[in-house]
Amino acid sequence: MTDFSQLESRIEAAFAAGAAAIGDAQAEAAFLELRSALEAGTLRSAAPDAAASIGWRVNAWVKRGILLGFRLGQLASTGTDLTFVDKHTYPARRFSAADQVRIVPGGSSIRAGAYVAAGVVCMPPMYVNVGAYVDAGTMVDSHALVGSCAQIGKRVHISAAAQIGGVLEPINASPVIIEDDALIGGNCGVYEGTILRQRAVLGAGVILTRSTPVYDTVRGEILRASANAPLIIPAGAVVVPGSRPIQRGQGAEWGLSLSTPVIIKYRDEKTELSLELEDLLR
């Protein structure tokens, strides 16, 4: 395992310097080293850790390093046939056939400082932001967003128009984590540090946030985030949109309901058969 303790110290010092770091060659060198390590996948904003209570360790200093890059960046023109103007510290990544990442033409972009493993499929238009980690065999479908520092496991399908929130959009302390073999349905939103365990399935339109209660009808539990832990969806859970009635006040008198995700079952043979199409699309 690479020791990043010296880089951490340099990043923390440059971040603490505030505006004084702008134009500092050593601060930019530290940032570029961090960006390269993120892009190579040797450094992550969050990493699996069996000793941690949620099974993951968040590296908060990496987020500060990413924010440092925005502070240091100056507007610069990029692109060839199309011209873009963005912070010079975050150009679009360039890929070749040797990278074995399939990016279909049509307006997709992966920001420098994002790790994308060989075998990932990117359907246009889609976007992967800085600090994200997208592991092998994953598909990022059309109009999908993988937010800053989001951690995406192996063989995940992020369906059309799904949004995986980051630590910058919206700003949040911990990244969203999607573990191996999960399926995110179309128009889903997973935000505010939510963790999906392995093989979980979100039906189309499910929205998960830190304040979202999730009703597990199989196990008879209500899942919530706590002061010390994010919302965690169990392994193999199949989650669909649901509703719950407002119990008091004007909402109750009007017969209104609030939307809420519901776990209706855990993955079984029937679920597996319905997901076989994923292998054909990769």
Give the pLDDT score at 73: 93
Residues 33 and 114 in one domain: no
Give the CATH number, domain containing residue 46: 1.10.166.10
Give the pLDDT score at 81: 62
Residues 211 and 254 in one domain: yes
Give the pLDDT score at 271: 66
Write down the pTM of the prediction: 0.89
Residues 65 and 97 in one domain: no
Count of domains in the chain? 2
Give the pLDDT score at 276: 60
Angle between helices 5-16 and 60-72 (to 10 degrees): 50
Q: Identify the CA nearest to 204 among candidates 155, 246, 252, 158.
A: 158
Residues 121 and 246 in one domain: yes
Tell me how far apart the alpha carbons of residues 162 and 220 are, in angstroms, rounded to a whole number.
28
What string of pLDDT tens digits covers the 282 residues of the chain? 789 999 999 999 999 999 999 999 999 999 999 999 999 999 999 999 999 999 999 999 999 999 999 999 998 877 656 667 788 998 888 888 899 898 877 888 999 999 999 999 999 899 999 999 999 999 999 999 999 999 999 999 999 999 999 998 656 678 999 999 999 999 999 999 999 999 999 999 999 999 999 999 999 999 999 998 999 999 999 999 999 999 999 999 999 999 999 999 999 877 666 666 555 445
Residues 124 and 219 in one domain: yes
Residues 27 and 165 in one domain: no
Structural domain that includes position 30: 5-76
25 found inside a domain: yes
Give the CATH number, domain containing residue 269: 2.160.10.10
Residues 178 and 66 in one domain: no
Give the pLDDT score at 83: 66
Query: Which domain-ending residue is among 45, 76, 107?
Result: 76
Residues 51 and 124 in one domain: no
Give the pLDDT score at 72: 96
- Beta carbons within 10 angstroms of residue 198's beta carbon: 17
Residues 126 and 185 in one domain: yes
Question: Two tokens at 199?
Answer: 């093989």
Residues 191 and 119 in one domain: yes
Tell me how far apart the alpha carbons of residues 126 and 61 are, in angstroms, rounded to a whole number.
27
58 found inside a domain: yes
